[in-house]
């Protein structure tokens, strides 16, 4: 990689971390895209419109979502270089502009979630630590809408003593408060009684915390025992169910944005599609002309 290209990439990523609070995974993804582009152009900081056309040709077989991500990374990068005076022109208009349609989230219905809890509660009742842990994890995924990483990395001192809230550190290091239901608090109390001693994480594993991959595995194992398709169940699907079912119950979209830790309300609005039937029924029931 060229020295100037490396310096420009490092400066851009430092800005993302310091000014925008970008998460480590986001920064790593941007670095991979920018370094790969630097390898093609020879010096991404000095790339021309012709170089952008070459990149577009290199990316011709990518999925629209991947193409959109790479183009977005470069557009932001060149915008930064212009703002900082590293260069006077922006070659990024020559990049492709794919319309990557955001997929709608998969959602479990109430009956499917209920089947997960029936099995989890029966198994936890047997007293095995792994089963007690599974119920606590399930309660926090569906009852509080936590991301997988947020859940597995919860410190032990995050468990509420009096206040029914957890303090979560989410993407970009942003903190938020999420409610913990009485059911979840009971499940957490049961887990703390059988949790191995030592360690600073709520869900320890060896000398660290339970891994995200392991969380996926045990959740899908639970799905199979509940008679559900394991491929249909994941931590993120339960987070979607949390959001969807709250909307069905009448939750405000702004409140939901806060609970989910979304920086932009547009991210939260993806859930509104699943609540269309309730909105139609509301209009038919409450509109002044509904009974005319």
DSSP 128-183: -HHHHHHHHHHHHHHHH---HHHHHT-BGGGS-SSSSEEEEE-GGG-EEEEE--HH
Residues of the domain holding 11: 3-94
> What pTM value is reported for the model?
0.61
Last residue of one domain, picked from the residues 189, 219, 234: 234
Q: Is position 196 within any domain?
A: yes
Would residue 236 show up in a list of annotated catalytic residues for this protein? yes
Catalytic residue among 70, 195, 209, 239: 239
Read off the CATH number of the domain in which 172 is found: 1.10.443.10
The whole-number pLDDT of residue 262 equals 75
Return the number of other C-beta atoms located less than 10 Å from residue 196's C-beta.
8
- Residue 4 annotated as catalytic: no
Query: What torsion do the CA atoms of 241, 247, 252, 255 make, to the nearest 10 degrees?
Result: -10
64 and 170 together in one domain: no
List the catalytic residue out of 30, 133, 195, 271. 271
Residue 239 among the catalytic residues = yes
Q: Rounded to an integer, what distance in angstroms lies between the CA atom of residue 28 and that of residue 46? A: 22
57 flagged as catalytic: no
- Catalytic residue, from 4, 49, 115, 171: name it: 171
The count of structural domains within the chain is: 2
Q: Within this chain, do residues 141 and 52 fall inside the same structural domain, yes or no?
A: no
pLDDT of 68 reads 84
Q: Is 209 a catalytic residue?
A: no
For residue 87, indicate whether it is catalytic: no
Q: Is residue 163 included in any domain, yes or no? A: yes
Write down the catalytic residue from 147, 195, 209, 245: 147
- pLDDT score for 101: 53
Residue 103 lies in a domain: no
For strand 208-209 and strand 204-205, is the pairing parallel, antiparallel, or unpaired? antiparallel
Q: What is the pLDDT along the chain (292 residues), one digit of tens a residue?
A: 556 778 899 999 998 887 766 778 888 999 999 999 989 989 999 999 999 999 989 998 888 878 888 988 899 999 999 988 889 999 999 888 776 555 555 778 899 999 999 999 999 999 999 999 999 999 999 988 888 888 999 998 887 776 677 778 777 677 787 888 889 889 999 999 999 988 889 999 888 999 988 999 999 999 999 999 998 899 989 988 888 888 777 777 777 777 777 766 666 766 665 555 555 665 666 656 656 5
């Amino acid at each position: 990689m060229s020295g100037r290209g490396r310096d420009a990439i490092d400066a851009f990523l430092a800005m993302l971390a310091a000014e925008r609070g970008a998460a480590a995974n986001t920064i790593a993804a941007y670095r991979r895209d920018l370094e790969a582009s630097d390898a093609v152009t020879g010096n991404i900081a000095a790339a021309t419109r012709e170089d952008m056309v070459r990149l577009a040709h290199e990316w011709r077989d990518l999925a629209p979502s991947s193409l959109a991500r790479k183009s977005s990374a470069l557009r932001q990068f060149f915008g930064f270089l212009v703002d900082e005076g590293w260069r006077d022109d922006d070659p990024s208009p020559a990049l492709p502009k794919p319309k990557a349609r955001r997929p709608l989230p998969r959602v479990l219905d109430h009956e499917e979630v209920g089947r997960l809890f029936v099995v989890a509660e029966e198994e936890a009742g047997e007293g095995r630590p792994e089963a007690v842990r599974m119920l606590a994890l399930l309660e926090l995924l569906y009852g509080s809408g936590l991301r997988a990483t947020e859940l597995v990395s919860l410190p032990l001192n995050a468990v509420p003593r009096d206040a029914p809230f957890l303090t979560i550190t989410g993407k970009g290091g942003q903190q938020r408060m999420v409610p913990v239901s009485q059911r979840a608090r009971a499940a957490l109390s049961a887990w703390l009684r059988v949790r191995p001693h030592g360690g600073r994480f709520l869900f320890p594993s060896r000398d660290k915390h339970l891994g995200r991959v392991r969380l996926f595995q045990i959740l899908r194992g639970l799905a199979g025992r509940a008679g559900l398709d394991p491929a249909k169940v994941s931590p993120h699907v339960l987070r979607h169910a949390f959001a969807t079912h709250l909307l069905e119950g009448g939750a405000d979209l702004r409140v939901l944005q806060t609970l989910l830790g979304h920086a932009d309300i547009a991210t939260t609005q993806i859930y509104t599609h699943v609540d269309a039937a309730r909105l139609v029924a509301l209009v038919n029931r409450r509109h002044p002309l509904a009974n005319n």
